[in-house]
Structure 1
């Protein structure tokens, strides 16, 4: 029996969705439009299903990018995934944004024993959400918020080649003075990598509780009350 998984990636300004069958990509689509997730996500899903002659009832699971990332984006993706899973009575799979980005880059990066992959997502000011992964996906340093300065990841850079990417990496580049540091540009979170990892999670039956699932924000959500005019 084939396994169709719909994957949603809304942790960044890019709204990305993908459909995989037994771990193989069938179709993907992305919309690079600021603050468009809430108004376009459902339409993009329907268009993708129509383009692949697939129906919601054929889905075996829905996967969502778990975070960290944009609070609003993660809430939108999580709510959409939970709604679909509840309505269709299928499992919910949550995939970390940072390991998915590492998987994405590892797919076209020649493996090397001393190489570590370092996704960085902008967390405003001089802070990023980051982690370290070996090219085979093994977690070396758990996801955490990092304050960027000239000493950030200095110990790791002294012993490994680190490849930095993501929308937070550009802030780090001017602070690094190491021949072991490399930087990739234009790497955004993608539902394609989420879907690849989601199939592996599906085989392990690594599912989330649809009723109680919340994204991995990494930092507490801070809200403010608008000032009265």
Structure 2
């Protein structure tokens, strides 16, 4: 049996969940963010208290590893490290873009066998962080930053059905008009959807080095310098 605490802070949504043997038994989420610095610690305390009150010992901590918001990822990973050290349990990194695909894979029964999934996170202007996966979550193309236009994903669209999802999907919807393009609304990276990915990693012993783990930012943080006022 395995009990895993899940922490997701890669976007403006903050969420926490607890799973036992892959089944979610506790969840909390805040959709009014970004409020990570305010709500994450109480969510985690509530989750740990829930597990303790049900005499369920914690076996691991899973954290959404990016790409995503620099600040959000830092808060999530630092919190996960604190719990992992404090409880003496290993840490699991769950790629955020794979996480975004989970509800589609779990709850849609109309995906063709040859479908491709393109989860994406909104970046600046017409840019998104995206990857291309098959239905087994094998990477057809690894994560990278894309400038979205009508031809960005044409090599795959010309061959088979492609499903775009995530908060960067609206940018594609605005410029891509192709018969093989499908757009899935409301696909959020939530902690409760980390359970199947984290459970699989736990079973395989796929843990990260808690001390040295860093989120996958994709791009380095760039601080802006305020303009001088005259």
Q: TM-score, normalised by structure 1?
A: 0.93
* 1:70-96, Cα deviation, whole Å (9 max, x unpaired): 000000000000111111111010010
Q: What stretches of structure 1 of length at least 5 have no aligned partner?
A: none
Q: Against the structure 1 CA distance between its residues 89 and 56, is the aligned structure 2 distance closer, same or farther, given a 3 Å change threshold? A: farther
| Residues 11 and 34, structure 2, Cα contact 8 Å, conserved in 1 | no
What does residue range 47-62 of structure 1 map to in structure 2 within 5 Å? Answer: 47-51=46-50, 54=53, 58-62=57-61
Residues 40-49 or 90-99, more deviating: 40-49
TM-score by length of 2: 0.93
User: 2:185 and 2:72 mapped to 1: Cα distance?
Assistant: 22
- Corresponding position: 1:195 with 2:168: no
Alignment root-mean-square deviation, CA: 1.8
> Bigger shift: 161-170 or 49-58?
49-58
For 1:42-191, list aligned pairs within 5 A: 42-51=41-50, 54=53, 58-110=57-109, 111-191=111-191
Q: Residue 106 of structure 1 contacts residue 136 of structure 1 at CA under 8 Å; is this kept in 2? A: no
Give the whole-Å Cα distance in 2 for the aligned partners of 1:193 and 1:144.
22
Shift, 1:50, TM fit = 3.8
Higher mean Cα deviation, 191-200 or 64-73?
191-200
| Counterparts of 1:54 and 1:203, CA distance in 2 | 25
Task: Write the distance in 2 (CA, Å) between the matches of 1:212 and 1:52.
Answer: 27
1:6 paired residue number: 5
Question: How far off is 1:136 after superposition?
Answer: 2.0
Aligned partners of 2:159, 2:47: CA distance in 1, in Å?
A: 44
The worse-fitting range, judged by mean Cα deviation, of 108-117 and 218-227 is 218-227
The size of the alignment, in residue pairs, is: 228
1: CA distance between counterparts of 2:92 and 2:130? 22
8 Å CA contact retained: 2:51, 2:58: no
Structure 2 regions of 5+ residues with no counterpart? none
Deviation at 1:48, TM superposition (A): 3.0
Looking at structure 2, the residues matched to 48 and 29 of structure 1 have their Cα atoms a distance apart, in angstroms, of 8
Structure 2 CA distance, aligned partners of 1:198 and 1:154? 32
Q: Deviations over 1:19-42 (max 9, x none)?
A: 110111112111012231011111
- Cross-structure match for 1:208: 208
Please give the per-residue CA displacement for 1:160-180, whole angstroms capped at 9, x wherever unaligned: 101111111001112112110
